[in-house]
A and B are shown apart, each in its own frame.
Chain A
Amino acid sequence: MIKIPFNRNKKNTLSEIQQPIKSRWWKFTDSRVRWRHSLLVKYLSLVVCAMLLFFFLMPLVTIIIGIPMYWNDQAKEKENPYANGQTLMTTWHADTKKLKGDNEQAIEKHLVSWKAKLPKATVFWVDAKGVTRKMLPEQKSLPKQWTAQDSISFMKKSFEGDPFTVVSFIGGENAKEGFVAIQIPRKLMTYDGQQPLYTSEYAFAIMMTLTLLFVLFSWRFFYRIQRRLRELERAMAMTDEHGIPIMISVAKEDEIGQLQHSFNRMISELRASRKREQEEEELRKQLIANLSHDIRTPLTTIRTHVHTIQQENDVLQERSKTSLHVIVQKCEDLAHLVDNLLSYTLLSAKRYTFQPQAVDVVRLARESAAAWYPMWEKHQFEVEVNLPSAPIIWNVDQMWMKRILDNVYQNVVRHAASGRYIRIEMNELPNGISELVIQDKGPGMKVASSNKGAGIGLSIIEMMLKEMSLEQEVYSSSSGTTLVLTPKRGNIKNTNI
């Protein structure tokens, strides 16, 4: 009796072996993979790169692009005569201060010269009585005769308004000799090509580019992994002539690389075991072949010596003759049994040369019948051969087919000789299927034959038929046995190709 604890122990050991090595989350890579080769590290560095780009590179790029633009704007502004309102105001005040209210020509000259200097500016002169004396260019909105109301509303409108307006009294603050004003549209004073450093469009474009880049790199990263996995999968499906997958070359030492290494290790183990298996098979084959040889050799001696005795036909008693006949029969049976044992071993181990090809079965059946005819003649068989003249092609191994037919004919001679009849026929049925019929008029298969040990022979035939996709039907009665061989669908299909 086996103790339960023993069993349990054994099971525990097994399950321990089968348990996977515990993975620890803080050890983020496999110990066999160097951290710099790890896919995880690679992807993490991709993410970190993207972050760095977002927070450092984006401002950097903006500055790099922004600085030349800023300087450019500065330079442009320097060239603009309207730009500096303060300077303009001071100059205007200073110029006006020098004028006298009665010197009308000087005032006009002052206005014209300013107009020439700043062509887009508007200038006008209002004298001490509040009459608009000169406008460059003409302005409808200005009153001809200024009232106090007009002056106040003008001042109110102009203060910090657009256009930029400078009003100065002719001859100084207290001269009361009228005033001149200059108006400059504010948009002339600033350079409108200038962009603020951080506009939303810029930021958006850069962000989009970075995001796209990140997506692209991520996609490439995973695409490569996917491709390698697919390659591995394909390599697993591909097999060499022994049905073993082919070794793959490992290009990268990352997690997939480890998988590929394991795969290769598995293949070499598989190869080794296949080789071992073949060696064992070879050994077994040799052993049985030798055994067969060693049994057949003494059988030959017995057989030949019996023949010597049989030659003394005249002096032999009837009983002795029968005994000798039985000895010969048994020798042959034994030889066959050994033969079948050998064949069975090889066949069940699929170590038989099997070369299916398109074979004209009509010809094969005819030649086989020709070989067996003398035997049938000797047993006084009535032989009926109905073979068509056109060939019928089956996809079979010629040697196997011959062997099957030999076996059938041999069985007919051995077990159905009393019927003294054999019919071999091949028909092409209307549905395109062909059949080979072998019929005898023996006592049928139910009757126990004197020859035992036929089972293994039948198994061999069954195996061969199965391998060649042939179907066997046997109709047996006390008045005879009919055997019908037909190719299965698979066989026909092969033939058509």
Chain B
Amino acid sequence: MKPTILYVEDDLEIGEWTNQFLKDKGYEVDWRKSGENALHEADSYSLVILDVMLPGLDGFTVGQRLKKSAPHIPVLMLSARSSIDDKLQGLNFADDYLTKPFHPDELAARIEILLRRYEKEEEECITLHHIHMYPKQNRIVDSRTNEELTLTGKQFHIFRYMIQNANQILTKEQIYEGVWGDPYIEGDKTLQVHIRYLREKIELDPSKPLIIETIRGIGYRVRR
């Protein structure tokens, strides 16, 4: 099933173009020129893209109401308002804030990231190199031998977090706080230890990891 995007944009030229662009990218797009009537049926969308300067209710208000009624739907602000104050106001409730003019590929990438993060129904199977991951069943299988790899709870948690945030570089603080839910304590080596064991299980050669990539001095990345 194609993800459906609610796109609110009053500028016809930009709206028309973006509408087409998103459709080309394989999304179902519902383009509205004002936010008022879009509020009620928000539940049926996978993602909402909002402009700020709209006739009638402004994008911030629409977004806030939307988040209140349907917090499980990601909201991406796409606005020509670029001051930090505006961004902060937007990011108070929205999941992302992209300023115009935007690089179309960046928009696509950000939509992709948000959709993945909010995915209601996780994909059946994720393939990374020789690994098949079945998130629903909490199962990881080595595709060559069809053998199941047993991970500890934390290892699986870390791995799934990294896959959810695939293609992004995650610092160890981000991973720690994402998985454990506690603020990262300085000098804590727990995460490194977990990742080392995780690699020993999933990588072909743990000293030359392919799945969990180390970005030296910064963090880790899983590429899909």
Q: Do A and B bind each other?
A: yes
Interface of A toward B, CB cutoff 8 Å: 289, 292-294, 296-297, 299-305, 307-308, 331-332, 335, 338-339, 342-343, 346, 352-353, 363, 366-367, 369-371, 373-374, 383-387, 389-391, 399, 403, 424
- Whether the Cβ atoms of B100 and A296 lie closer than 8 Å is yes
Partner of A304, one of B53, B104, B186, B218: B104
Give the docked Cα–Cα distance between A109 and B88 (Å). Answer: 131
Minimum CB–CB distance for B193 against chain A, Å: 15
Give the docked Cα–Cα distance between A296 and B81 (Å). Answer: 8
- Whether the Cβ atoms of A299 and B101 lie closer than 8 Å is yes
- Whether the Cβ atoms of A367 and B104 lie closer than 8 Å is no
Q: Which residues of A contact B168 (CB under 8 A)?
A: 370
- Whether the Cβ atoms of A293 and B186 lie closer than 8 Å is no
- Whether the Cβ atoms of B14 and A296 lie closer than 8 Å is no
Chain B residue, CB-CB nearest to A308: B17
Q: Is B80 part of the binding interface, using a Cβ–Cβ cutoff of 8 Å?
A: yes
- If the complex has contacts A297-B100, A332-B101, are A367 and B186 also in contact, measured as CB distance less than 8 A? no
- If the complex has contacts A342-B82, A346-B83, are A301 and B13 also in contact, measured as CB distance less than 8 A? yes
- Whether the Cβ atoms of A293 and B53 lie closer than 8 Å is yes
Q: Is B18 part of the binding interface, using a Cβ–Cβ cutoff of 8 Å?
A: yes
Chain A residue, CB-CB nearest to B168: A370
Q: Give me 27 A-to-B residue pairs in the complex whose CB atoms sit less than 8 angstroms apart, sorted by A's number.
A: A292-B81, A292-B82, A293-B80, A296-B82, A300-B14, A300-B100, A304-B14, A304-B21, A304-B104, A305-B17, A307-B104, A331-B101, A335-B82, A339-B99, A363-B171, A366-B171, A366-B217, A366-B219, A369-B217, A370-B168, A371-B169, A383-B217, A385-B215, A385-B218, A386-B217, A387-B217, A389-B186
Minimum CB–CB distance for B126 against chain A, Å: 21
Give the docked Cα–Cα distance between A301 and B171 (Å). Answer: 36
- Whether the Cβ atoms of A297 and B14 lie closer than 8 Å is yes
Give the docked Cα–Cα distance between A374 and B106 (Å). Answer: 12
- Whether the Cβ atoms of B171 and A304 lie closer than 8 Å is no
Q: Which residues of A contact B21 (CB under 8 A)?
A: 304, 307
- Whether the Cβ atoms of A399 and B84 lie closer than 8 Å is yes
Q: Is B2 part of the binding interface, using a Cβ–Cβ cutoff of 8 Å?
A: no
Chain B residue, CB-CB nearest to A385: B217
- If the complex has contacts A292-B81, A373-B169, are A335 and B187 also in contact, measured as CB distance less than 8 A? no
- Whether the Cβ atoms of B83 and A373 lie closer than 8 Å is no
Partner of B18, one of A304, A370, A373, A390: A304
Give the docked Cα–Cα distance between A292 and B53 (Å). Answer: 12
- If the complex has contacts A367-B171, A370-B171, A387-B217, are A293 and B18 also in contact, measured as CB distance less than 8 A? no
Give the docked Cα–Cα distance between A290 and B102 (Å). Answer: 18
> How many chain B residues touch A (Cβ–Cβ < 8 Å)?
35
- Whether the Cβ atoms of A373 and B53 lie closer than 8 Å is no
Chain A residue, CB-CB nearest to B85: A353
Chain A residue, CB-CB nearest to B86: A289
Q: Is B170 part of the binding interface, using a Cβ–Cβ cutoff of 8 Å?
A: yes
Chain A residue, CB-CB nearest to B12: A301
Chain A residue, CB-CB nearest to B220: A370
Q: Which residues of B contact A301 (CB under 8 A)?
A: 11, 13-14, 17
Q: How many contacting A-B pairs (Cβ < 8 A)?
A: 115
Give the docked Cα–Cα distance between A76 and B181 (Å). Answer: 106
Interface of B toward A, CB cutoff 8 Å: 11, 13-14, 17-18, 21, 53, 79-86, 88, 99-104, 168-171, 173-174, 186-187, 215-219
- If the complex has contacts A296-B80, A331-B101, A399-B88, are A367 and B14 also in contact, measured as CB distance less than 8 A? no
Q: Which residues of B contact A297 (CB under 8 A)?
A: 11, 14, 80, 100
Q: Which residues of B contact A335 (CB under 8 A)?
A: 82, 99-101
Q: Which residues of B contact A389 (CB under 8 A)?
A: 186-187
Chain A residue, CB-CB nearest to B13: A301
Give the docked Cα–Cα distance between A383 and B53 (Å). Answer: 39
- Whether the Cβ atoms of B17 and A370 lie closer than 8 Å is no
Q: Which residues of B contact A386 (CB under 8 A)?
A: 217
- If the complex has contacts A293-B81, A373-B169, are A300 and B101 also in contact, measured as CB distance less than 8 A? yes
Give the docked Cα–Cα distance between A300 and B102 (Å). Answer: 7
- Whether the Cβ atoms of B84 and A363 lie closer than 8 Å is no
Give the docked Cα–Cα distance between A296 and B17 (Å). Answer: 16
Minimum CB–CB distance for B1 against chain A, Å: 26
Give the docked Cα–Cα distance between A346 and B102 (Å). Answer: 23
Q: Which residues of B contact A294 (CB under 8 A)?
A: 80
Give the docked Cα–Cα distance between A369 and B21 (Å). Answer: 30
Minimum CB–CB distance for A453 against chain B, Å: 16
- If the complex has contacts A366-B171, A367-B174, are A296 and B217 also in contact, measured as CB distance less than 8 A? no
Chain A residue, CB-CB nearest to B81: A293
Give the docked Cα–Cα distance between A424 and B171 (Å). Answer: 15
- If the complex has contacts A297-B14, A373-B218, are A390 and B186 also in contact, measured as CB distance less than 8 A? yes
- Whether the Cβ atoms of B218 and A370 lie closer than 8 Å is yes
Give the docked Cα–Cα distance between A185 and B86 (Å). Answer: 115
Minimum CB–CB distance for B171 against chain A, Å: 5
- Whether the Cβ atoms of A391 and B169 lie closer than 8 Å is no
- Whether the Cβ atoms of A384 and B80 lie closer than 8 Å is no
Give the docked Cα–Cα distance between A300 and B103 (Å). Answer: 9
Chain A to chain B: the 4 pairs with minimum beta-carbon distance, closest first: A385-B217, A296-B80, A303-B101, A370-B169
Beyond known contacts A301-B11, A335-B99, A385-B218: 14 more, CB 8 A cutoff? A289-B81, A289-B83, A296-B101, A297-B80, A300-B11, A300-B14, A300-B100, A332-B101, A335-B100, A352-B85, A366-B217, A369-B217, A373-B215, A385-B217
Give the docked Cα–Cα distance between A311 and B82 (Å). Answer: 27
Chain B residue, CB-CB nearest to A371: B169
Give the docked Cα–Cα distance between A38 and B4 (Å). Answer: 82
- Whether the Cβ atoms of A366 and B218 lie closer than 8 Å is yes
Minimum CB–CB distance for A216 against chain B, Å: 62
Q: Which residues of B contact A308 (CB under 8 A)?
A: 17
